[in-house]
């Protein structure tokens, strides 16, 4: 079955950097668009970024543009999010997810990023 | 940016009752509207895509309707496991995706 496992979250100071990883299994990773979606504590869902399956086309929310970089390694079935210049408002659970059925159809369990001094 | 407004914010109902959740878009999203369910401490789960199509494995008590700017998620008879937060999401304005603020369905 489809499995998405995020890692790399933790506590970081404002202005710091963090790299999130997502390991995928149970499907042909290279066939699918992939997403990062985040959810601040007690809040709703926010799209962060997504990347096409190959010769990648990349998109970012305005809130992270210029600070975050999404990438993927199809040989390693892995998705990444490099986060720089982190702010308190970036504190959230970050979910890795796949695109299918004109929706976001499979989600990982998320990794918590806390930006605090 | 397309804004999605969900109402009510909280719906208090008893098991067996019918739940009707609304999602209104600030401009037409055609039928590019998706519904998710999220339980505490869990990732969201896809329920409905393209406004009215149930995702694989989703029980028939869940149904979606609407097009343009007004959409409804209906749970015909609430089961104990249906008490959760529900989000709508649009992809009409691709590549920008937006979510509604959510409706919490709680036990009365």
DSSP string covering B56-100: TT--TTEEEEEETTEEEEEESS--GGG-SEEEEEE-TTTT--EE-
Chain B residues touching residue A104 (CB < 8 angstroms): 34, 36, 44, 46, 89, 97
Tell if the CB–CB gap between B50 and A102 is shorter than 8 Å. Answer: yes
Contact B46 A104 (CB under 8 A): yes
Q: What is the pLDDT along chain A (117 residues), one digit of tens a residue?
A: 999 999 999 999 999 999 999 999 999 999 999 999 999 999 999 999 999 987 789 999 999 999 999 999 999 999 999 999 999 999 999 999 999 888 999 999 999 999 999
Q: Do B99 and A107 touch (CB under 8 A)?
A: no
Tokens 């739940």 -> residue: B19
User: Contact B26/B91 with Cβ under 8 angstroms?
Assistant: no
Minimum distance, in Å, between the CA of residue A5 and any CA atom of chain B? 12
């Amino acid at each position: 079955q489809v499995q998405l496992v995020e890692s790399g979250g933790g506590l970081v100071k404002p202005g710091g950097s963090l790299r999130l990883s997502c390991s995928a299994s149970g499907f042909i990773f290279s066939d699918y668009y992939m997403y990062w979606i985040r959810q601040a504590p007690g809040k709703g869902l926010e799209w962060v970024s997504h990347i096409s399956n190959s010769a990648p086309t990349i998109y970012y929310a305005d809130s992270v543009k210029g600070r975050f970089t999404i990438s993927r390694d199809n040989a390693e079935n892995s998705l990444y999010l490099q986060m720089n210049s982190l702010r308190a408002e970036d504190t959230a659970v970050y979910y890795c997810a796949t695109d299918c059925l004109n929706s976001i159809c499979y989600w990982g369990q998320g990794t918590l990023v806390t930006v605090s001094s | 940016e397309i804004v999605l407004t969900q109402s009510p914010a909280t719906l208090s109902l008893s098991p067996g009752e019918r739940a009707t959740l609304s999602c209104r878009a600030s401009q037409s999203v055609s039928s590019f509207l998706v519904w998710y369910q999220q339980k505490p401490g869990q990732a969201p789960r896809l329920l409905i895509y393209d406004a009215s199509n149930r995702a694989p494995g989703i029980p028939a008590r869940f149904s979606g309707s609407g097009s343009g700017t007004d959409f409804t998620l209906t749970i015909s008879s609430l089961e104990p496991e249906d008490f959760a937060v529900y989000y709508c999401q649009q992809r009409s304005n691709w590549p920008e995706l937006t979510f509604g603020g959510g409706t919490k369905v709680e036990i009365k």
